[in-house]
Structure 1
Amino acid sequence: MFNIPALTWTLTAVLLAGGSYHLWQAARSHHLTDRVNNTLHALMNALMAAMLWNLAPSTTLAQIGLLAAAALWFIIQAVARPEFKLLCAGTQGRLKCAYHALTMAAAALMIAMMTHPTTSPAPANGSQADGMPDGMSMTMPHSHHAMTAAPHNTAPDTATAAAAAYGHAAPAILLTVFFAAAAATFLTLLLRRRAMTNSAHHQAATKHSTRTEHALEALGATTMALMFATMTA
């Protein structure tokens, strides 16, 4: 996805670390809903890491379906009545589940956008266009074949590519801003929580868990913002 190997490896490490933490939380949790939620987060992180390396493109529809189902699951929790005893309790919990639903939906959208990348028309000899990211032709082999089969229709292809680029850039910009704001919010909560817990001398386990959660959310939002930012060009 990126032309900078160091950035790709860094984001991969962050995603895999976050996924491992969620798997560990799922394994140690005694609540079924917590196990499901953490497992879904681990799955999303794994799919995002795989997308960075263009792995398993043949399972794209299954990935989008799983993430869409996960988004629906978090929406159900966010709007569920209190007597159902689900994870999202109170205003803060419902907002948290609503944010996680948006995150899952955004991940599904990202995979869908990467499945249909914006490319310039292929030259007449069928060679790959300059500046195309590595692995892009692997993602869309049929589209590439279709473009090389009709080299004379360059004007319609250019218009189509321009329209697709605009269609991709608009949601990518909005989601970049959204996740950048989310990262700043979680970072603020992390710093605020640290100040509050230091002054109130809360229990060490609760303090560590809350700070870790906020740090993980901030890292995840930053990662999503960076990945969507690369799709705005």
Structure 2
Amino acid sequence: MFNIPAITWTLTAFLLLGGSYHVLHATRSHHITDRVNYSLHALMNALMAAMLWNLAPSTMLAQIAVLAGAALWFVIQAVARPEFKILCAGSQGRLKCLYHSLTMAGAALMAAMMGHVTTAGQGTVPADGMSMSMPATHHAMAAVPQNTATATFDHSPALAILLTVCFGAAAVVFLVRLLRFRATTTTLRHAAASRLSLRADHGLEALGAAVMALMFATMAA
């Protein structure tokens, strides 16, 4: 996705760091719902890291299906009745689940957009090659998929810009929450492990949103 290896490696390291954090929490969680949620986040980070290097493009449809299913799962948690205590509880918990649904849907859309880019790029090469060795009829047939793929991708830059703004704003919100939380804990001098974990959650949420905003920004360029 990026032409500068240093940026690609840096984003890959951030994604793998976040994925490792989620895997660690998945193994330590006592509730099945928390294990599933953390595992889905770890999987999303791994898939996004693979997108940076264009790995396993043949499994693109499977990746989109899994991420879309994960987005639906978080929506179900967000709208679940209050009686289901194992799902998202409280207004903050529901908002958090809705945001996580947005991240999963964004990752699925990113995979779909990258699939269109790959299709469009593959469509231009065979058309030129066939024009020199195949009849005019075959050349016309080869030109149709090329135009179709390009037309499909023409609408994605505006959507990529919108998602860049959304995730950029989310990164700012989580960063502000992290800074305010640090000020509060310093004033009250609370050093509980749960608060340290919450600070790590805010930091990783801000980092993850920033990474997604940057990846969508490259698609909008």
TM-score (norm 1): 0.84
Confirm whether residue 105 of structure 1 aligns to residue 105 of structure 2: yes
SS of 2:87's partner is coil
| Residues 135-154 of structure 1: pairs in structure 2 closer than 5 A | 136=118, 141=122, 143-144=123-124, 147-148=127-128
Confirm whether residue 232 of structure 1 aligns to residue 220 of structure 2: yes
**Distance in 1 (alpha carbons) for counterparts of 2:84 and 2:92:** 17
Who is 1:175 aligned against?
Answer: 163
Confirm whether residue 83 of structure 1 aligns to residue 83 of structure 2: yes
Q: How many pairs align?
A: 213
**Distance in 1 (alpha carbons) for counterparts of 2:33 and 2:113:** 30
**Distance in 1 (alpha carbons) for counterparts of 2:184 and 2:57:** 46
Hey, which of these two has a bigger chunk of helix by percent? 2
Who is 2:93 aligned against?
Answer: 93
| Residues 1-233 of structure 1: pairs in structure 2 closer than 5 A | 1-117=1-117, 136=118, 141=122, 143-144=123-124, 147-148=127-128, 163-233=151-221
Deviation at 1:149, TM superposition (A): 5.9
Structure 2: which 5+ residue stretches go unaligned?
Answer: 132-138
Quick check: 160-169 or 11-20, which moved more?
160-169
Deviation at 1:158, TM superposition (A): 9.2
CA-to-partner distance for each residue in 1:140-182, whole Å, 9 max, x for gaps? Answer: 64x34553367677x9899767744440101100000000000
**Distance in 2 (alpha carbons) for counterparts of 1:195 and 1:57:** 45
**Distance in 2 (alpha carbons) for counterparts of 1:102 and 1:79:** 14
CA-to-partner distance for each residue in 1:183-219, whole Å, 9 max, x for gaps? Answer: 0000000000001111122242122111100000000
Who is 1:122 aligned against?
Answer: none
SS of 1:116's partner is helix
The answer to whether the 8 Å contact 2:80/2:87 transfers is no
The answer to whether the 8 Å contact 2:71/2:101 transfers is yes
**Distance in 2 (alpha carbons) for counterparts of 1:147 and 1:86:** 55
**Distance in 2 (alpha carbons) for counterparts of 1:220 and 1:29:** 21
Counterpart residue identity of residue 128, structure 2? T
Cα gap change, 1:61 to 1:160, in 2 (>3 Å): closer
Q: Give the CA RMSD over aligned residues.
A: 2.4
Quick check: 103-112 or 200-209, which moved more?
200-209
What fraction of aligned residue pairs are identical, expressed as a percent?
A: 66
SS of 2:220's partner is coil
SS of 2:83's partner is helix
Cα gap change, 1:172 to 1:77, in 2 (>3 Å): same
**Distance in 2 (alpha carbons) for counterparts of 1:111 and 1:158:** 20
SS of 1:3's partner is coil
**Distance in 2 (alpha carbons) for counterparts of 1:28 and 1:58:** 33
TM-score (norm 2): 0.88
**Distance in 2 (alpha carbons) for counterparts of 1:211 and 1:2:** 30
**Distance in 1 (alpha carbons) for counterparts of 2:172 and 2:144:** 42
SS of 2:219's partner is coil
Cα gap change, 1:60 to 1:162, in 2 (>3 Å): closer
